[in-house]
Chains A and B, each alone.
Chain A
């Protein structure tokens, strides 16, 4: 509500036009004045007429009197007539008369121009003079002014009366009309200034009274509405302020968002560029890689097929086998590199830091690398700069990978001279340094820069000449960094290269430092393989769907010792076999049709199966391996299977095996007795069951046959007759399948076994 726009009739009193009393009084007065004026005019006019009539009748009367007198005159004489006229005039109220008597004019009273006159003929006697024409002229003041003069008092009186009446009227109107209005106006004025609490006194029962009453009611309503509006207004204000706040924060947020979006857009653009670049590099890498994989595969297939050629000599065959093995190993290296690479990219490459001997590690590397060097007529040597710690904390597998890779590279790119590893240790910095030095082709500084990048070899032509994925150095550098160090290169083209590997050793304060190799030798562990290989006993269940893998693992198992091996091709069969037979170890492939290894292990462990299960997997990811262990695997072997690893796992798992025959000896004597009684009872029932069985077969009561066979299968083994169970099992299967063709053979075998058991027990 804008108070500026209210017209406040504050100064209405100073403006006479605004005074209703004055207006009404004026209207009434004007009316009265007009009426009075008309009345007065009418009065004056009628008075004038009266005066005129009176005057004219008086003149005529006067003239008639004169005529009568003249006629009565015995001697008409002008003078006498004049005298009579003069006398007579005193009895009449004429102001002035002029008499024209036979040409002579006689005036009586004052005559002036303002006066009008009327003339009447006098009949003069013929006796007079020559001329008997007489005329009387009566002068008079115009009747109107006379009339007005005469009514002047009346007019004044009327004017005064009207004025008084006007005053009275004003007073009355003021009291009767204006005052109530004033009260209302005052109230309205208060309301207009915002005072809605004011009320009008109701002082009469007339229209003003009603007006006041309605005004009051209106005020109450307005007040109420005003309050409601105020409340609403308050709400609105609050809402508005909230909205304003919200808008402000929205604006802030929008600004922030815009900024974020901008930043993200830039980030995304960068990421996109990087991704495009990476994708491009990877595409070319993949193309390169497929070539890399095909090369050894071609050799493997080619040499493998050549073995089928019967014309080949033994030495040719030996060479072919050598080539197959060499290329297979090379393929494995490539695939391992790719796997490492993908793990690094996914940040999933785990480092296992354990206490390890650097000397044993270097011995392994020496034995592997010196062979390669020997093939190329190179010298390979390991030089120790003593003192060196006997043990360090690092990941032996990864460190070995780095050093083998660098050594193999050095040997690959060196055609004459020597390759060596120089080992030193900085105790204070807790760093160990391995320098792999060669006298090879060396590297230009530009090539050195590109060297450690993924998917790049110094020169693409070297790929063709020397092979390799170009991943080795990149992986080695990443690994060295994960081991708390780095790899640096010093090289001169044509002279040779130095790859300086540094790794963190962990705390060395309590570690023994040695000055020569003699103290190392004695603590060397003996290889596990030798005593385990070929000497293992036990039963193994192998679940593997791939026939080639089956054959390969069977071969390894044969080599491992005198093992009883059962092969099944899926997880479901593995579960059934494992539950119905006793195996000392299960080798379970993880990826199989029908039921995978993981599910099979879960089910087996669910049934309470307690014997060891080893997972076979091509999946080298640590997390997957963890999930196998969680499912209940005791360990895992990665494919392709490392022979040495295979034997060590197998010997570990079959080590604690106790011969099944010992189990009865372990039992208490009481139990022995009771058990023997039970066995006796079982055997004693056998002849009866045999008869029952024969009867049922004779009458083709297959259900009964099936029941008896099922029971025999279920009980035989438990009571020390595993052959009964073994023979009853296929019989039960045949019965279930409804195949009776082979039935008789199996059946007679079972009967023979029952007979054997009976006769053994002295029954017949």
Chain B
């Protein structure tokens, strides 16, 4: 568990993030963690289809996408979102760290993969990775 909020507050405040998880409590937790990182533009979706619709509308800077969701699952939503925006920054979230899952997600173009339960530092790592991407 490495260092915490080193992220640039100003940079973060401009970020728009989509949180997709079928469990309300997980959405709330992630939202809280993001708020703590000075991110305030947060949308949430309870399933893959909703997530895709929201993303099509807003094209969020970062998407946290749970893999195990009803309707369209996370990987399906990932595929769609990459079609909508090929360089979308999408982080897969899963309780299952099996290598096949990870490989599938990376192959489909996800930019990150975190396993539940996660800590703030992991979320922060993803934000940092996104910032690096933008700078590069």
* A residues with CB within 8 A of B: 572-573, 575-577, 579-580, 582, 595, 603, 606-611, 656, 658, 660, 663, 666-668, 670-671, 674-675, 678, 681-682, 685, 710-711, 713-719, 722, 725
Most buried by B among A580, A608, A668, A725: A608
Contacts of A573 in B (CB 8 A): 99
Q: How far is the CA of A658 from the CA of B118 in the complex (A)?
A: 17
Given contacts A608-B91, A658-B1, A666-B5, contact A576 B97 (CB under 8 A): yes
Contacts of B95 in A (CB 8 A): 710-711, 713-714
* B residues with CB within 8 A of A: 1-5, 23, 25-26, 28-29, 32-33, 35-36, 68, 91, 95, 97-99, 102-103, 105-106, 110-122, 125-126, 128-129
B128 and A675 within 8 A (CB): no
Q: Which of A595, A671, A719 contacts B99 (CB 8 A)?
A: A595
B68 and A710 within 8 A (CB): yes
A607 and B114 within 8 A (CB): yes
A610 and B102 within 8 A (CB): no
Given contacts A663-B1, A725-B117, contact A579 B28 (CB under 8 A): no
Contacts of B36 in A (CB 8 A): 667-668, 670-671, 674
Q: How far is the CA of A668 from the CA of B7 in the complex (A)?
A: 14
Given contacts A603-B106, A608-B114, A610-B128, contact A671 B35 (CB under 8 A): yes
Given contacts A667-B36, A674-B32, A718-B29, contact A608 B126 (CB under 8 A): yes
Interface of A is mostly: helix
A582 and B119 within 8 A (CB): yes
15 A-B pairs in the complex with CB atoms less than 8 angstroms apart: A572-B99, A576-B98, A579-B114, A607-B105, A607-B106, A608-B114, A608-B122, A610-B125, A660-B119, A670-B35, A678-B28, A681-B28, A682-B25, A718-B119, A725-B117
A582 and B115 within 8 A (CB): no
Q: How far is the CA of A725 from the CA of B99 in the complex (A)?
A: 19
B115 and A715 within 8 A (CB): no
Q: How far is the CA of A671 from the CA of B68 in the complex (A)?
A: 27
B23 and A711 within 8 A (CB): yes
A671 and B119 within 8 A (CB): no
B26 and A714 within 8 A (CB): yes
Residue of B whose beta carbon sits closest to that of A710 = B95
Contacts of A660 in B (CB 8 A): 1, 119
Residue of A whose beta carbon sits closest to that of B68 = A710
Contacts of A668 in B (CB 8 A): 36
B6: shortest Cβ distance to chain A, in Å? Answer: 10
Residue of A whose beta carbon sits closest to that of B116 = A714
A678 and B117 within 8 A (CB): no
A658 and B97 within 8 A (CB): no
Q: Which of B3, B29, B126 contacts A719 (CB 8 A)?
A: B29
Q: How far is the CA of A725 from the CA of B126 in the complex (A)?
A: 22
Q: How far is the CA of A495 from the CA of B118 in the complex (A)?
A: 73
Q: How far is the CA of A678 from the CA of B125 in the complex (A)?
A: 22
A718 and B118 within 8 A (CB): yes
Given A608-B113, A608-B122, A610-B125, 7 additional A-B pairs, CB 8 A: A579-B113, A579-B115, A606-B106, A660-B1, A667-B120, A713-B117, A715-B23
